[in-house]
């Protein structure tokens, strides 16, 4: 499987297309929002960059995972949120503009955080085999994550009509790729899949719930509004598993490292749905739209 052209060539290309589609939804204003609403952005970034890797490390240590599976969980923790987080935030009345901002920033930071966290995990857990993100492989991460996002943003700037038309097809393509890669990763290890599910199912499920809970609770404790708290929980609780799977399979060449992301990609839809329903129940706060300035509340008030 590792030598398959589908994995070594097709999967990185597919991810590049997905990241290009993400870039089509972003503008430079999404990055400038850090200045306008620093508190909300910083809460999510601190959770993403520091708290979640610590939570993942604690879980894999507590449950004594196999080294390669432990590396896979840490890779998952380092992966940014994505368009799925934006969708869930919209469904449960979150601040989608904040999600878009965080996705933009995290996509850039991931170029640094993924290699750092993954290599630290490989060294700490003593993962066997030729697994590591050396300089050449780090450049691959840049090529398939950051560059397509930048190109997408440039295209959006000059051809907004195309960007709008391409949004839905790219989202569908993203879901199909995620499903196929998750199934492929599980099938490639089908002899061990039951054991892997036993080992990482609970860990990835707890990690997802912890991420969602930390995101929401921290934002509320720091007096952020419920829409921003929901946005934060979805952004840090729903990771871009396509990125994790692509790096595990296409860059690191390890199906076992990919297993946690594959299992997580299945669990997160159910867990995020239940969590989103629970925290949004009974709220009358309107969901934010994907532009920074919010309309006056009185615009939709009923008599």
User: What is the rounded average pLDDT of the residues 135-160?
Assistant: 77
3-class SS at 95?
strand
Token digits for 71? Answer: 């590396």
pLDDT at position 129 is: 54
pLDDT at position 260 is: 93
Task: Write down the residue that tokens 């009345």 correspond to.
Answer: 93
Q: Over 50: is that where the pLDDT of 286 sits? A: no
Radius of gyration for the alpha carbons in the chain, expressed in angstroms and rounded: 19
Q: Over 90: is that where the pLDDT of 174 sits? A: no
Task: Give dist(CA 148, CA 80) in Å, integer.
Answer: 15
pLDDT at position 97 is: 77
pLDDT at position 299 is: 44
Cβ–Cβ under 8 Å, residues 153 and 28 = yes
Top mean-pLDDT range of 70-74, 108-112, 153-157: 70-74
Q: Over 60: is that where the pLDDT of 285 sits? A: no
The string of DSSP letters for 65-89 reads: --HHHHHHHHHHHHSPB-HHHHHHH
Q: How many CA atoms lie within 13 A of 140 on its CB side?
A: 22
Token digits for 255? Answer: 């199906």
Assign 222 a pLDDT band (cuts: 50, 70, 90): very high
Parse the chain into domains and list their residue ranges: 5-276
User: What is the rounded average pLDDT of the residues 251-261?
Assistant: 85
pLDDT at position 297 is: 39
User: What is the rounded average pLDDT of the residues 274-293?
Assistant: 64
User: What is the rounded average pLDDT of the residues 121-141?
Assistant: 69
Task: Enumerate helices (H) and strands (E) in the chain, giving the number of each.
Answer: 15, 0
pLDDT at position 9 is: 61
Token digits for 189? Answer: 């290890």
Token digits for 26? Answer: 């972003």
Task: Give dist(CA 271, CA 236) in Å, integer.
Answer: 13
| Torsion sign over Cα 59, 65, 69, 71 | positive
Tell me the pTM.
0.76
pLDDT digits (tens, 9 = 90+) for 176-219: 776 776 676 667 666 766 777 788 999 999 999 999 999 999 99
3-class SS at 211?
helix
Token digits for 135? Answer: 């300089």
Q: Over 60: is that where the pLDDT of 46 sits? A: yes
User: What is the rounded average pLDDT of the residues 89-103?
Assistant: 82
Top mean-pLDDT range of 37-46, 211-220, 265-274: 211-220
Distance of CA 139 to the CA centre of its chain: 20
Task: Give dist(CA 45, CA 40) in Å, integer.
Answer: 9
User: What is the rounded average pLDDT of the residues 90-105?
Assistant: 81
Write the CATH number of the domain with boundaries 5-276: 1.20.1530.20
Top mean-pLDDT range of 53-57, 116-120, 198-202, 289-293: 53-57
User: What is the rounded average pLDDT of the residues 58-80?
Assistant: 93
């Amino acid at each position: 499987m590792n030598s398959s052209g589908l994995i070594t060539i097709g999967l990185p290309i597919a991810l590049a297309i997905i990241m290009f589609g993400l870039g089509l939804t972003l503008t430079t204003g999404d990055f400038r929002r850090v200045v306008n609403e620093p508190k909300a952005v910083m809460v999510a970034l601190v959770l993403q960059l520091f708290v979640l890797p610590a939570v993942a490390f604690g879980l894999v240590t507590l449950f004594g995972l196999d080294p390669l599976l432990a590396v896979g969980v840490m890779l998952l923790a380092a992966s940014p949120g994505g368009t799925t987080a934006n969708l869930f935030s919209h469904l449960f009345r979150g601040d989608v503009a904040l999600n878009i901002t965080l996705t933009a920033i995290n996509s850039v930071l991931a170029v640094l955080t993924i290699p750092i966290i993954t290599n630290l995990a490989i060294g700490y857990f003593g993962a066997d085999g030729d697994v590591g993100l050396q300089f050449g492989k780090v450049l691959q991460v840049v090529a398939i994550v950051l560059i397509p996002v930048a190109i997408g943003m440039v295209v959006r700037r000059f051809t907004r009509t195309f960007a709008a038309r391409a949004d839905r097809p790219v989202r569908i393509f993203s879901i199909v790729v995620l499903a196929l890669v998750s199934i492929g990763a599980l099938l490639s290890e089908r002899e061990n899949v039951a054991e892997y599910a036993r080992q990482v199912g609970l860990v990835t499920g707890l990690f997802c719930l912890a991420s969602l809970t930390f995101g929401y609770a921290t934002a509320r404790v720091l007096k952020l509004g419920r829409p921003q708290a929901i946005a934060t929980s979805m952004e840090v609780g729903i990771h871009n598993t396509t990125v994790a799977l692509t790096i595990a399979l296409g860059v690191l060449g390890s199906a076992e490292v990919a297993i946690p992301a594959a299992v997580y990609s299945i669990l997160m839809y159910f867990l995020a749905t239940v969590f989103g329903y629970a925290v949004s129940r009974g709220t009358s706060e309107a969901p934010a739209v994907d532009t920074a300035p919010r309309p006056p509340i009185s615009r939709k008030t009923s008599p």
